[in-house]
């Protein structure tokens, strides 16, 4: 069975488009108010060691001031999400170890969930409760649910990469080669190859959101990490994705702003 969190971690670390690293860096806060890897890791450490629920990273600490600090600060007891974000920050900004791919995947989910929750809240559409990636998993069912979310996100990213028909056999082999370097299993590599070779299925991606705005917003954000959105085909794909997911321009604009695209 494929480990979807591991696949997500590998894709996030390797980057599926030239701009994916910069967009994730923006989401993490790097470059904002002088934020750096050290600022981010320091802010995460303070959140892990600190504290009190509702306490976010101190203002001016760079790193997790802003979107992630605001959201995860209110869930400061979630050491899994905060620790995953630390692994993600190290991978994106500091060449973190591929051995942490599962943790990086968890950080990727926490980042996407934070962006989704903040984008909806800023648009006056806050869900009744935050996405489950922002909660500490307590049971086997909780972990399975997170794996299901990771599967949905991975499939959405692969599907987005097909928007301009540039994910050909050569590109697939190139990505699989990078996944091999990250130590993915044969089942995980096989899953990626099978998904990459399938016809584009926008309707399937839309259905996978299950009518949940918080998951829909995560799918939209993840898709922006997979493509440049610099061709008419990619722009059309993202617009049709947003329409199908029921995300209005305010929500999508918020997400794009968090990723440094606006």
Q: Is the four-CA dihedral 32, 36, 41, 46 of positive or negative sign?
A: negative
Question: Which residues lie closer than 8 Å to 136 by C-beta, 6 or more apart?
Answer: 77, 78, 79, 80, 81
Residue, of 62 and 195, whose pLDDT is higher: 195
Q: Which residue range is the domain that position 103 belongs to?
A: 4-258
Give the residue carrying structure tokens 């839309």.
206
- When pLDDT is averaged across residues 122-147 and rounded to a whole number, the result is 89
Any idea what the Cα angle at residue 227 is, between residues 193 and 155, rounded to 5°?
A: 40
Given a cut of 50, whether residue 37 has pLDDT beyond it is no
Phi and psi dihedrals of 11, rounded to 5? -65, -40
pLDDT of residue 156: 97
**pLDDT given for residue 231 in this prediction:** 94
Q: How far apart are CA 173 and CA 179, in angstroms?
A: 10
- pLDDT of amino acid 15: 84
- Tally of domains in the chain: 1
pLDDT value at 232 more than 80 = yes
More reliable by pLDDT, 126 or 63: 126
What pTM did the predictor assign? 0.85
Two tokens, residue 148:
């299901």
């Amino acid at each position: 069975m494929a480990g979807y969190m591991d696949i997500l971690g590998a894709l996030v670390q390797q980057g599926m488009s030239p701009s994916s690293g910069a967009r994730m860096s923006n989401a993490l806060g790097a470059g904002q108010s002088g934020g750096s890897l050290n600022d981010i890791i320091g802010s995460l450490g303070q959140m892990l060691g600190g504290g009190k629920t509702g306490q976010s990273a101190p203002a001016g600490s760079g790193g997790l001031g802003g979107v992630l600090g605001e959201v995860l600060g209110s869930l400061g007891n979630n050491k899994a999400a905060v620790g995953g974000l630390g692994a993600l920050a190290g991978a994106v900004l500091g060449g973190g170890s591929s051995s942490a791919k599962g943790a990086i995947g968890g950080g990727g989910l926490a980042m996407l969930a934070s962006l989704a929750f903040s984008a909806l809240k800023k648009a006056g559409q806050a869900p009744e409760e935050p996405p489950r990636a922002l909660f500490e998993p307590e049971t086997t069912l909780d972990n399975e649910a997170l794996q299901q979310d990771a599967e949905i996100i991975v499939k959405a990213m692969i599907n987005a990469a097909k928007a301009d028909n540039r994910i050909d056999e050569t590109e697939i082999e190139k990505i699989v080669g990078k996944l091999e370097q990250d130590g993915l299993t044969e089942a995980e590599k096989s899953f990626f190859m099978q998904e990459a070779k399938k016809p584009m299925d926008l309707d399937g991606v839309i259905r996978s959101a299950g009518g949940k705005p918080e998951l829909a917003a995560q799918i939209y954000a993840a898709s922006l990490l997979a493509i440049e959105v610099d061709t008419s085909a990619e722009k059309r794909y993202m617009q049709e994705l947003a329409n199908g997911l029921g995300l209005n321009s305010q929500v999508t604009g918020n997400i794009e702003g968090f990723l440094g695209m606006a």
